[in-house]
Amino acid sequence: MANPLLFRKIMLALPEGLCSGELLVQDGKIADFGASQGVPDGAEIIEAEGAILAPGLVDIRASLGEPGYEYRETIASAAQAAAAGGITTIAVLPDSRPAIDDPALVRLIASRGEETGTVTLLPYAAATRGCLGVELAEYGLLKTAGAVAFTDGTRAIASARLMRRALSYASGFGAVIVQHPEDPELAEGGAATEGARATLMGLPGIPAAAEAIMVARDLRLAELTGAKIHFAHISTGEACALIRHAKDRGIRVTCDTAPPYFDLNETAIGDFRTYAKFSPPLRADADRLAILEALRDGTIDAIASDHQPRDADDKRVPFAEAAPGGAGLVTLLAVTLAQVQAKTLSMAQALALLTSRPANWLGIEAGILRKGAQADLCLFHPERSWQVEAGKLPGKAQNTPFDGRALEGRVLGTWKAGRRVFG
């Protein structure tokens, strides 16, 4: 068991807001806010004026490459990157090889997370066998094994009939279907958002409406079945408007987005930058601003890393042929904090979107500084800058769209159950 820790001369990110104070960790748990009984023998004292002690970040969407794509990323390398980014819990997509559609694989992913000692891995299970969109997986067995929700990852469930069955089936187990919101027929063969930029670059386009069309269809199916639905990496203003209206009507819908969709726009693909190729693709700036508004007003429930590791062979090809996706674990906190510095989000809003709100969505006891809670902690300084350098990031995946970017918000330390795992 790790030695006791006493954090002092810091700001604490409490549910009621930031406040100066002290926090004592003993036996891997938050023992008290301060050391009213004196400093325990052997305690390590950590002082960092100007720094903020927050709960460990909870990332509800990441692909880790293992099993099957270890050349892109492994669980061990992803755990290293997560710790450097202040992340202590990750919900893992099932888009591995084989896909996570078997209870034994669900248990394997969770146990591999425990083996790292640095991060809790919560597996999604495939919504359909093999994530192929043909036949539903065995939701009951998978949920019993520990699956936190059901999704086909970056593949949309295209069939309306199959989606209705999936929603109904999942609802019977109190589970959630997570949808990649993009009409696959409209998106097929596309590489960038349809419009003047894609035309100028000679790239096949994907209409932004492909997202809203899928969202509108599935909201109606969720209403029809009374089931819960979650939309991943929302990227357009039209989709935000549909979800906002659906929430007002009482439909059981939630959604997340990722830093590229509120920090970048389609101009980032200039010079055919494959590191900025995503699925869904980067959008017009009006959509980026709409995503920010949806973060502000609570329409969007969480910010996820949407970590998609790729290697050189995936990206160093013509833009239209490049695999979409970007590394996002290390940069998740700092890119989000850029919106605090821009006064678009408050610090409390930003941290809630990275900690307590995703934890609540997952139904886990994490994401909050509370007496008796496990001491999963992230200590960061919001004003200390660092530069993103592809090739020098912690972990194996280096395909970051933020390469060369100077960011403020340096993680000084990460603790898992009171044991320091970074810094």
- Residues serving a catalytic function are 306
- 237 in Cβ contact with 308 (< 8 Å): no
CA-nearest of 420, 313, 413, 370 to 10 is 413
- 255 in Cβ contact with 301 (< 8 Å): yes
Q: What residues contact 283, with CB distance under 8 A and at least 6 apart?
A: 193, 208, 235, 236, 261, 265, 266
Give the DSSP letter string of 294-322: HHHHTSS-EE---B----HHHHSS-GGGS
For residues 48 and 95, give the distance between their C-alpha atoms in angstroms, rounded to a whole number.
Answer: 40
Q: What residues contact 4, with CB distance under 8 A and at least 6 apart?
A: 24, 25, 26, 31, 39, 40, 42, 43, 44
Tokens matching residue 370: 């509370």
- What torsion, rounded to 10 degrees, do the Cα atoms 6, 349, 63, 273 define? -120
Q: Residue 360 to residues 23, 122, 282, 326, 405: CA-CA distances in angstroms? A: 23, 14, 28, 26, 32
For residues 421 and 82, give the distance between their C-alpha atoms in angstroms, rounded to a whole number.
Answer: 10
